[in-house]
Structure 1
Amino acid sequence: MNNVFLLAGAVVVLAVFLYNRSSLYDPIKFSLPSPPKLEGPLAVNSHLRGAKLLLKGQILGPESLLVEGNTIYTGTWDAKVLKIVDGAIQKSVQLPTLSGFKRPKKCATFETEPSCGRPLGIRRLNARQIVVADAYLGLFTIDFDNGDTVKQIFSSNSKPGGHKAMFINDLDVSNDGKRLFFSDSSTTFDRAHFLQGFLENRPNGRLIQLDMGSGDARVVLDGLHFANGVQFHPDRVSVLVSECSMARIQRYFFDGPKKGRHEVFIDNLPGFPDNIRLSHDKSSFLVGLASVRYAGQLLSFMDLLGPLPAVRRFILQIVPEQYLFPLMELVAKKYGFVLELALDGRVLRTYQDPTGAVVPDVSQAIDDASHIYLGSFHSDFIAVIPKKSNFLYFFLRLFSSIASMDNFASVYRHMLAGQLVIRLVSFLLNFALLRLVDPSLLGFFNVKMTLLYTTICFLSREPIRRLCLSSDFPLHKVPLYASLSPLFALATIFLCFVPWVFFGVSPPSELAISRPTNALIVALFALSALAETFAEPSIVCQLKMGNIAEYAKNNAILVLSQKAIAFFAVLFGMNPLFVFPVAQLLGSLLFVWLHRSLPFSSSSSSSSSNCFPFSFASLRLFDSSHLHLLGTFLCHSLLKQSLTDGANYLMSFTDLLPLKVQAIYDAVERLGSLVVRLVLQPFEESAAIYFGTQIRRSSHGKATDEEKRRHSSDDGKTDAHSSEFAVVSPISSAVSSPICAEFLLLTRLIVTLGFVLSVFGSSFCWLAAFLYGGQLFVDNGADLLLFWYSVYLPLIAVNGISECFVIATLNASQLLLHARFFLFLSLFLHLPLSYALCSLFGALGFVFANLAVYSLRVLFNWYFLRPTLCAQFDENDNDVQKMARQSQKEMQMYRQLLPGKKFSSLLLFTLLVLSISRFVLGQTLTIPCQFGHLILGALLFCLNAFAFFVWECKPSMLDFGEKKSK
């Protein structure tokens, strides 16, 4: 018993001695909010339990990951930066140590870590280089494809804000590569002593901005508690940074109305946040939790000891430095936890391993369209969790190993889902209306009135969306420019009202449409289009931020509500003359209500999002160069609309075709372009959004007002030939090699789809026309119209994708050249040719005219595309060799746009067999003949699908810009 008292007394004396002894540690008193309950979106689950462990036992501490297709880059505890391809380590690079230090033979220990270095945050800088943050050494760029070249861009000996960066942690780079943010977790403790800094919890963490041009680093946000993960927000005006020891994430605004301010993005997390990464579809954030804290937990260490700094100081004094982390590992609960946050900070869902048996902790989560990859600062593996199967993703991945294609797949998935619902239901309702409503009345509404509606919508939306969705257009200005849409709509209505009321094909007398009734119908359709423009600020903000799903869903509701209201009203005996315009207006009002209930952006100030263009006070907010570009887009859109709907304009304002024939032509066009609307139209819309946000537009010829002020204030001399402000002819400087490669891959995909649709569409046109419209359609040549529609499907496809790419890259002067070409096509070729061919061949003449015009549009687009793509060929040989090699690569590029020889031969064979079947069986109106024709087509389609996956899944991809090492 005496020994026990003696031991207790010794412990008390030691505790008093250590407490009163001067200490290097000075913890602060703090308190965290009560830990959250694991319920709702935080509810316990076991999603991480099914993880596959990649490179188990071959790596150590892959804290941060960069995933690009089948390639993973990571930094490990033994001071290596690894390139992992197809699950195997392909290359390994070590960063240069600080001057005067020699790297020890054995790294990955507490003692040698400061000398060896510790690579942490890792990001893609540009097409060739990645950038890595080393906790001790600084920031480095690595080019794995150019002799593993390593270059330091920031030294840890630098003293931004007067203090040396002791613990460089994570980083992120802006899309244009000009601005880099990185976190310095502590100005006192390095990474080996991170737990000492964590337990002290003094606010000495910092967020530092590095100018990639000048190399200047400055502190933009200090007073952070253990600054950790860094991630740009998709709004392009703010950046997120984890305050790990306070279980929260801060948001700093480096641009926009809130410039220089910061706010809490999310507080009271169920754990301590490490790295933050934007999801592959840019719709959410993935946050890894290094450790957990939640209500009901047996021991939440930081929550318990936060108000007790003396206890934490005692622990720091009594436990040797090298044993503190192993001790905490014994105390802390093993629990794998990943948070998925919305762009406004809401918790969407979680991925958990409650036992920590498979994934004990997570330093970072990063995803592509099919998997989530998990990093850890001490585990000996990379955990990979499969997502739900996604056929579209798999289909697109057959054509590419480029990681950013995942973004396109995500955009297209939402667009396709919306268009699929819209077009199928609309197709079925129109099929029924053909049997319920006079064809002449359908022709009046589906051609003339729909043309008015689409003209107003297109001219009031297209120019503004082209401008605002450009990659270099700031998000906080989107509401201001998008609110011009009602003005554009009013101007279009003013120009269109008189022609639509007083001119054009007169409705047949049996329809009893008087001029006042006609004027009322025109007014309702115009009001419908005008109403939708008031939702544009919300729509464009959602598209800019990558929220494609919401846009696609509301767009589907718009079309379905309009069609469904009209159908059911007609079905119950109401007058179609009244029903169609009212249904159109009601659907548009519902659409506006759905979008106006959505926030513009969490970063948009009220002043910017509520600005009203009719107020002269807001005119000062517009930028002259942006308005100039907007005007150019408007002219371009006006001419594009006249080309796209030229046939409908001719039908509406000439007597080439009576309304009854117009209704049949419209129905045939809907049927013939069903695949275009289902597959190619969302493909084109997705490409426009994707290329617009990924490509930085080449110089406009003059800088924005803001750029001029910034440029004029620079101390250095102005370079008269600076590409920043000079008008440039080629567009290649604005497009990176990966984007060009993606364009070629998408073009090959769309060309292949177009050929398949042409082969099978041309063989079943008679059956489709008969089933859709009966003998009336066949008697009026609907089958022949469908045949020619299927022939020029590939042309529509190639024009759509190439035009999206070109428009995303052209500057204002080049857009004007493009617009002048459209003007020539429209006034001097398309409209006269359509009129002449329609007079000769009837409705079929419109198809022939479109074939000619689309061919010229494709050729003109490739006039712009060829220099851009050829500029990516990086040749170092003499002129003769360079020309020969460039010509060879150019031919390889053109061959790559077409299906392979085997698949092309199979398509030709399929066309031959189906053509024979069509003439022998397809035009005989008996069930056995038609059934036999269908069975043969189905078998050949299955054969082509199988051959596609076998032969076309891994085409040889053109490699841009590969420098040959000498």
Structure 2
Amino acid sequence: MERNILKSSLEYASFRIIFQILFRCVTFILNAWILRIVGAEVLGVMNVRLLLLESTLLFLCKEPCIKACQTNAKHLHWPQVINQIWLTVPACTALSIPLLYIWLNCLSAPRPELLRQYELGCYSIVLSCIIEQITNVPYIIATSYCFVKTNICFDTLYTSIRTIIFVILTVQNKNDALKAFAIAQILSSIFLCALYYGFFWWYIRTINTISKVDKKLIQNKSSIFSKMDDFHFKSIIDFFPGLMENKKSKFNKDLMILSISFGKQCIVKQVLTEGERYVMTISPVLTFSEQATYDVVNNLGSLAARFLFRPIEESAYFYFTQMVRRDTLIAKQDQTKIRETSEVLSQLCAVVCSIGITVLIFGQSYSHCLLSLYGGETLTSTNLPTTLLQCHCIAIILLAINGVTEGYVFATMDNKQLDRYNYLMVIFSISFLLFSYILTYIMGPVGFIMANCINMSARIAHSCYFISNQYRDTSFRPLNGLVPKKSFFVILITSGVLVKLSEIYVYPASMIIHIAFGAVLFAICLVCWMYENQSLLKLGIERYRKRSIVKID
């Protein structure tokens, strides 16, 4: 399969960013509607308690296998990969039993009138997660063969169906919002599973026909069927374990070891990612209503991270796994690839760092304004939500740097290095939980964010050390991208001072003027950044213009 890996990664990132923007816009509108119509307690149960159960199951069961199978996807032996991916179904089922018992019997319950709906929600989360594991095989095949638009389209439809079902059922009876959430969760998972298998059933059936009739479709690189020469599947039953022709062993030992390494890592990373939710869930630090407020503010504070950094991190990880071999020193690999990889890493660091600093500077003066527009008096009656959002702005720059640097580290470490780092991640996790509990006891909800900042700083330090050591014997210095350009930084700091003065003297009298003034200063900062990063912009424009030459999907 001839592919442009960098182009595939860039297109995937672009579509993921668009999808995340649409998805988060829907989520934020939905959360605001729930907050006003249904109440904060129901929002807290859904967004913190139930979605934490979902993320725990999906992340621990799906993520290790997907990451391992994406490594050097071009040389996969598909029968072994399919057998391994299907292990996620019994793994998810087995893990759901103790988690379901904990969620139903060990954790604090909502008020009695919500209890039955809460139980239904827990069961629906488990069932939907098991159904989603069945979708892993067509998902990894679509990813490996660069069906970028297909993946994004299905994700969009899945989110849309879930939202539409939830809204329709909730409008009919707002007292059954949790029940509506449960039904929407199950039906949307079934819909996603049917989409993937239905698409590949149609695709395989079609390529089996046109391979005998019309060879021109194969030669047309813009056609979705241009991949058929290298497509290893002759029937939809090949997607199921043990049914595809296999002349090797049932499982690949190296792939299994890599999955186990990623599994250890994912346990720790899940604690780090959702640590504050685990603390809120296990200990009675906050009520469900307070959890909802924190979650709303947390989502608003993570706009940049969810819209931009996560898709960039995912596509960068896929790109680095294809360009850098895990088991060979950088100095002994193809230097053309290493030069490109170093340049891409440096440019990614520069982009995400610039975004993080910009959010930090402007966020200090526009947090109250954003909360006022979003939640009205509910979120601005006290200073706590504003303080939380301002602290999130500090965490965003760390999220930006950590996402790219750690993504590179995970993509290029060998098995032994991954195992060693897993032990280090255990230390990070334990420290994070301790800091979360202690700082939350002292500072309230702000302590969650401060603990996260401390943890991310430690992880960034380790990633930078690994990257510097890896490129020590070369002339490449990819971490130089973390240093912002001088003129951009000076203008940004000046703008931060001016918008702070605007918040003090202008915002109380006119929100519109305050926002317009910030927009002008932001535009000036953006123009300055574009001027200092002309080479990066030219590269992006060049890649965009070449889209018609090599079509991915």
Q: TM-score range by the shorter chain?
A: 0.7 to 0.9
* Aligned-pair CA distance for 1:782: 0.9
* Aligned-pair CA distance for 1:418: 1.8
- Does the 8 A contact of 2:530 with 2:537 survive in 1? no
Q: What is the rounded CA distance, in whole Å, between the counterparts of 1:854 and 1:555 in structure 2?
A: 29
Is it true that 1:553 corresponds to 2:153 in the alignment? yes
> CA 1:811–1:894 in 2, change beyond 3 Å: closer, same or farther?
closer
Q: What is the rounded CA distance, in whole Å, between the counterparts of 1:608 and 1:519 in structure 2?
A: 36
* Aligned-pair CA distance for 1:614: 12
Aligned AA (1:907): L
Q: What is the rounded CA distance, in whole Å, between the counterparts of 1:647 and 1:613 in structure 2?
A: 41
Aligned position for 2:307: 678
Q: What is the rounded CA distance, in whole Å, between the counterparts of 2:161 and 2:247 in structure 1?
A: 35
Aligned position for 1:953: 534
- Does the 8 A contact of 1:431 with 1:772 survive in 2? yes
* Aligned-pair CA distance for 1:666: 0.7
* Aligned-pair CA distance for 1:870: 2.4
Aligned position for 1:257: none
1:153-192 to structure 2, matched below 5 A, reads none
> CA 1:619–1:588 in 2, change beyond 3 Å: closer, same or farther?
farther
Aligned position for 1:911: 496
Aligned AA (2:12): V
Q: What is the rounded CA distance, in whole Å, between the counterparts of 1:489 and 1:733 in structure 2?
A: 40
Is it true that 1:449 corresponds to 2:78 in the alignment? no
- Does the 8 A contact of 2:120 with 2:179 survive in 1? no
TM-score between both structures, scaled by the size of structure 1: 0.50
* Aligned-pair CA distance for 1:633: 0.9
* Aligned-pair CA distance for 1:866: 1.0
Aligned position for 1:786: 389
* Aligned-pair CA distance for 1:653: 1.3
- Does the 8 A contact of 1:471 with 1:697 survive in 2? no
Q: Output one character per residue of 1:500-532: Cα deviation in whole Å (capped at 9) or x when no partner.
A: 1112222134x4415xx5433211111111111
- Does the 8 A contact of 1:426 with 1:560 survive in 2? no
Is it true that 1:771 corresponds to 2:373 in the alignment? yes
Q: 2:189 aligns with which of 579, 585, 588?
A: 588
Q: What is the rounded CA distance, in whole Å, between the counterparts of 1:694 and 1:495 in structure 2?
A: 40
> CA 1:866–1:495 in 2, change beyond 3 Å: closer, same or farther?
farther
1:523-534 to structure 2, matched below 5 A, reads 523-534=123-134
- Does the 8 A contact of 1:470 with 1:692 survive in 2? yes
Aligned position for 1:806: 409
Q: What is the rounded CA distance, in whole Å, between the counterparts of 1:693 and 1:421 in structure 2?
A: 29
- Does the 8 A contact of 1:443 with 1:660 survive in 2? yes
Q: What is the rounded CA distance, in whole Å, between the counterparts of 1:908 and 1:897 in structure 2?
A: 17
Aligned position for 1:642: 271
Q: Output one character per residue of 1:549-580: Cα deviation in whole Å (capped at 9) or x when no partner.
A: 11112112222222222122212225113111
Q: What is the rounded CA distance, in whole Å, between the counterparts of 1:614 and 1:786 in structure 2?
A: 52
Aligned length: 502
Q: 2:99 aligns with which of 487, 493, 496?
A: 496
* Aligned-pair CA distance for 1:407: 4.0
Comparing 844-853 and 498-507, the one that deviates more: 498-507
- Does the 8 A contact of 2:57 with 2:92 survive in 1? yes
Counting aligned pairs with the same residue, the percent is: 23
1:682-831 to structure 2, matched below 5 A, reads 682-698=311-327, 733=332, 736-780=338-382, 781-827=384-430, 829-831=431-433
> CA 1:689–1:955 in 2, change beyond 3 Å: closer, same or farther?
closer
The alignment partner of 1:498 has SS state of: helix
> CA 1:832–1:614 in 2, change beyond 3 Å: closer, same or farther?
farther
Aligned position for 1:612: 241
The alignment partner of 1:682 has SS state of: helix
Is it true that 1:513 corresponds to 2:115 in the alignment? yes
Q: 2:290 aligns with which of 621, 646, 661?
A: 661
Q: Output one character per residue of 1:559-610: Cα deviation in whole Å (capped at 9) or x when no partner.
A: 2222222122212225113111111111111111111113287313559834
1:213-362 to structure 2, matched below 5 A, reads 233-234=1-2, 280=4
Q: What is the rounded CA distance, in whole Å, between the counterparts of 1:445 and 1:848 in structure 2?
A: 25
Aligned position for 2:143: 543
Q: What is the rounded CA distance, in whole Å, between the counterparts of 2:81 and 2:186 in structure 1?
A: 26
- Does the 8 A contact of 1:479 with 1:538 survive in 2? no
Aligned position for 1:627: 256
Aligned position for 1:168: none
> CA 1:894–1:591 in 2, change beyond 3 Å: closer, same or farther?
closer
> CA 1:688–1:609 in 2, change beyond 3 Å: closer, same or farther?
farther
Q: What is the rounded CA distance, in whole Å, between the counterparts of 1:461 and 1:614 in structure 2?
A: 22
Q: What is the rounded CA distance, in whole Å, between the counterparts of 1:814 and 1:834 in structure 2?
A: 28
TM-score between both structures, scaled by the size of structure 2: 0.85
Q: Looking at secondary structure, tell me which structure has more strand per residue.
A: 1
- Does the 8 A contact of 1:415 with 1:549 survive in 2? no
> CA 1:528–1:785 in 2, change beyond 3 Å: closer, same or farther?
same
Q: What is the rounded CA distance, in whole Å, between the counterparts of 1:798 and 1:872 in structure 2?
A: 23
* Aligned-pair CA distance for 1:918: 1.6
Comparing 943-952 and 818-827, the one that deviates more: 943-952
The alignment partner of 2:36 has SS state of: coil
- Does the 8 A contact of 2:166 with 2:181 survive in 1? yes
Aligned AA (1:463): P
Q: What is the rounded CA distance, in whole Å, between the counterparts of 2:236 and 2:120 in structure 1?
A: 37
Q: Looking at secondary structure, tell me which structure has more helix per residue.
A: 2
> CA 1:668–1:951 in 2, change beyond 3 Å: closer, same or farther?
same
- Does the 8 A contact of 1:762 with 1:791 survive in 2? no
Aligned position for 2:72: 471
Is it true that 1:899 corresponds to 2:484 in the alignment? yes
Aligned position for 2:547: none
Aligned AA (1:761): G
> CA 1:693–1:609 in 2, change beyond 3 Å: closer, same or farther?
farther
Is it true that 1:573 corresponds to 2:157 in the alignment? no
Q: What is the rounded CA distance, in whole Å, between the counterparts of 1:531 and 1:793 in structure 2?
A: 33
Q: What is the rounded CA distance, in whole Å, between the counterparts of 1:456 and 1:810 in structure 2?
A: 25
Aligned AA (1:782): P
Q: What is the rounded CA distance, in whole Å, between the counterparts of 2:180 and 2:265 in structure 1?
A: 35
Q: Output one character per residue of 1:735-790: Cα deviation in whole Å (capped at 9) or x when no partner.
A: 72221221111111111111112222222100111121222212341111111111
> CA 1:851–1:907 in 2, change beyond 3 Å: closer, same or farther?
same
- Does the 8 A contact of 2:330 with 2:338 survive in 1? no
The alignment partner of 1:697 has SS state of: coil
The alignment partner of 2:37 has SS state of: coil
* Aligned-pair CA distance for 1:731: 5.8
Aligned position for 1:933: 514
> CA 1:687–1:534 in 2, change beyond 3 Å: closer, same or farther?
same
Aligned AA (2:513): G
Q: What is the rounded CA distance, in whole Å, between the counterparts of 2:332 and 2:63 in structure 1?
A: 25
Q: Which runs of 5+ in 2 are unaligned?
A: 205-227, 539-553
- Does the 8 A contact of 1:415 with 1:548 survive in 2? no
- Does the 8 A contact of 1:478 with 1:541 survive in 2? no
> CA 1:906–1:493 in 2, change beyond 3 Å: closer, same or farther?
same
> CA 1:438–1:953 in 2, change beyond 3 Å: closer, same or farther?
same
Aligned AA (2:483): L
Q: What is the rounded CA distance, in whole Å, between the counterparts of 1:732 and 1:762 in structure 2?
A: 44
- Does the 8 A contact of 2:372 with 2:379 survive in 1? yes
Backbone CA RMSD of aligned residues: 2.5
* Aligned-pair CA distance for 1:897: 2.4
> CA 1:762–1:659 in 2, change beyond 3 Å: closer, same or farther?
same
> CA 1:956–1:424 in 2, change beyond 3 Å: closer, same or farther?
closer
Aligned AA (1:788): C
Q: What is the rounded CA distance, in whole Å, between the counterparts of 2:165 and 2:380 in structure 1?
A: 30
Structure with higher Rg: it is 1
Aligned position for 1:34: none
